[in-house]
């Protein structure tokens, strides 16, 4: 049984969302493996059967403490 078979078709019709998060510009520049792994979650979602995958990374490198 594949992982896509474990998820109901109604779920797979939804958009999967990958939220890439690093709190500081320093983390963005130095934690390359973390960033790579987070972006690789797009491939994981597609392997699980999701067709529509949205990446949210607009606040990459910005701390929420400054809001």
pLDDT tens-digit map of 8-58:
999 999 999 999 998 888 988 898 999 999 999 999 999 999 999 999 999
Burial environment of residue 45 by CB neighbours within 10 A (0 to 12, 13 to 18, 19 or more): buried
Q: Mark residue 56 as left, alpha or beta (left: phi above 0; alpha: psi -120 to 50; beta: remaining).
A: beta
Do residues 7 and 14 touch, judged by C-beta distance below 8 A? no
Residue 2 pLDDT more than 70? no
Across 57-65, average pLDDT: 84
In this prediction, residue 55 carries a pLDDT of 97
CB 44 within 8 A of CB 6: no
User: What is the distance between the alpha carbons of residues 61 and 29, in angstroms, rounded to a whole number?
Assistant: 9
pLDDT for the residue 63:
81
Q: What is the pLDDT of residue 38?
A: 95
């Amino acid at each position: 049984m594949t992982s896509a078979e474990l998820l109901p078709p109604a779920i797979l019709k939804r958009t999967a969302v990958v939220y890439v998060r690093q709190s500081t510009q320093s983390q963005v520049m130095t934690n390359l493996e973390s960033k790579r792994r987070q972006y690789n979650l797009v491939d994981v979602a597609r392997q699980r059967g999701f067709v529509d995958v949205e990446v949210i990374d607009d606040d990459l490198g910005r701390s929420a403490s400054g809001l």
